[in-house]
Chain A
């Protein structure tokens, strides 16, 4: 059975996005499990900076040769920065999903609590069931 990296300091959605919350800023990406399932990522459609999105809205799209997956917002917030280096190097999502493969930063508006967010242990256990 495969083992996927699930850093402790992050929260996860069942749809495989992660978020790192520091103060009012959340950094969002996709998990090691997700990049493994997708295979070689060939394109990431990034959101516009300044765009206000609600929890569950589509933040962007991540494409491999085999699939195109929507990226969902784990929280409500306004996009303040996007990882433009993914335009030329989308493979960073595969190589370093929790580091240089981050996708967007948002300023969290309203409640950061989302009951759908799991901690690392719960998410790791969930991945093993799939």
Chain B
């Protein structure tokens, strides 16, 4: 199988026009002893055979088509209206490049502009960029923005324990040679204790809303302390929760980042997702990556174009603060279409379904013998359950009952052995939740 259209006759005509005899003649600049190596790869296949092989690989996984999913921890199983997938498959979106040539890319540009608008509204920020790779890299980029805001004079970054462990790891990977002190996430602290770490060297404080454990904490008092110290506050948010909870901007955030996966993007074993990045106006010119602005064409017609480009890597090279070129264009488009379809009422309703179902599940599990549920703080659609046995054993029992159980927190938090993080969304019916509760009860005995 091949997508190369050339016929023998055409190849000969082309070689003649070039003035060579064979295609091999075109590769003489490649050192002869290394030219045309053998590739130890399987032979090519027909589309029919490839299709069968892909199907077999896909079916060797335990997926949401066969199992009820009660696992979240940064990636969420939600319902995506059919129209999202159909529109995404349009070749005009799918097979276009980054919109460098605005006259031929108004579709992509306007969609990004609408995406920026929706993200700004959800987060309560003045501006959003066209997206980063994922929520984790958005947070790493927020750290860079904060460092730049102090012209690299401040070197301390405070991260909350409640930020996704992968996100905190990515911040450390990105900034491992920047001479920073990254602190605050070694142990559970309330926001008062977190604020006690702030000093004159602090560039950024970051918290999650809801946090990795599902808790929705008010950070208004923290924001005041961060600002009093001349630092910035970044909030890692779950956009689905923002449909019902106050926007982080209203509570005092300077930047709001997170993963847009919950907005109509499939789980897909971890990606591609979309990292949203939004900020107050004060930092808008420090945003890395693409951003689209409205303008007019030479006849005065409204149009869109990528703007604030001069600080990007292709122009500023080694003086750029980030090397990012691309965004997650198609995933941002998916989120835009999803938010348009769900709209004001639909998204609010989805978030409320998550909330009520999760609270129903939490209440029923709390009543089970041997289990306890962390209580006392508001939560959205995830909660921590202390189990009477190792999480792996409990999950094995749930698996037999057709369910993917909660995330084993002991993997990332040694203090939380035998604790699982359960997630309930609009995808989980009352029957499924009741089955879960029953299976947990059985597993305990």
Q: Which residues of A contact B (CB under 8 A)?
A: 43, 45, 58, 63-68, 70
Contact = CB atoms under 8 A, between A and B. Distances in A.
Given A43-B285, A68-B316, A63 B310 contact: yes
Given A43-B285, A45-B285, A68 B151 contact: no
B285 A65 contact: no
B90 interface: no
B319 interface: yes
Contacts of B310: 63-68
Given A63-B311, A64-B310, A68-B316, 15 more contacts: A43-B285, A45-B285, A58-B151, A63-B285, A63-B310, A65-B309, A65-B310, A66-B310, A66-B315, A67-B310, A67-B315, A68-B310, A68-B311, A68-B315, A70-B319
A73 B239 CA distance: 44
Nearest to B315: A67
Nearest to B305: A65
Chain B interface size, as a band, is: under 10
18 contacts: A43-B285, A45-B285, A58-B151, A63-B285, A63-B310, A63-B311, A64-B310, A65-B309, A65-B310, A66-B310, A66-B315, A67-B310, A67-B315, A68-B310, A68-B311, A68-B315, A68-B316, A70-B319
Contacts of B316: 68
A42 to B, nearest CB: 9
A2 to B, nearest CB: 22
A17 to B, nearest CB: 16
Contacts of B285: 43, 45, 63
A68 B317 CA distance: 11
A64 B308 CA distance: 9
Nearest to A70: B319
B221 to A, nearest CB: 27
Nearest to B311: A68
Contacts of A43: 285
Nearest to A66: B310
Contacts of B315: 66-68
Contacts of A63: 285, 310-311
A117 B437 CA distance: 78
A63 B309 CA distance: 10
A29 B360 CA distance: 65
Interface string B306-324: 0001110001100100000
A127 B311 CA distance: 25
- The residue among B151, B310, B316, B319 with the most chain A CB atoms within 10 A of its own CB is B310
A3 B311 CA distance: 29
A89 B311 CA distance: 20
B103 to A, nearest CB: 16
A58 B152 CA distance: 12
A58 B151 CA distance: 9
A12 to B, nearest CB: 22
A65 B229 CA distance: 34
A66 B314 CA distance: 11
A64 B311 CA distance: 10
Interface string B81-94: 00000000000000
> What 6 pairs between A and B have smallest CB-CB spacing?
A68-B310, A68-B311, A63-B310, A67-B310, A68-B316, A67-B315
Nearest to A45: B285
B172 to A, nearest CB: 27
Interface in B278-335: 285, 309-311, 315-316, 319
B153 to A, nearest CB: 10
A66 B316 CA distance: 10
Contacts of A65: 309-310
Nearest to B151: A58
Interface in B314-360: 315-316, 319
A11 B247 CA distance: 51
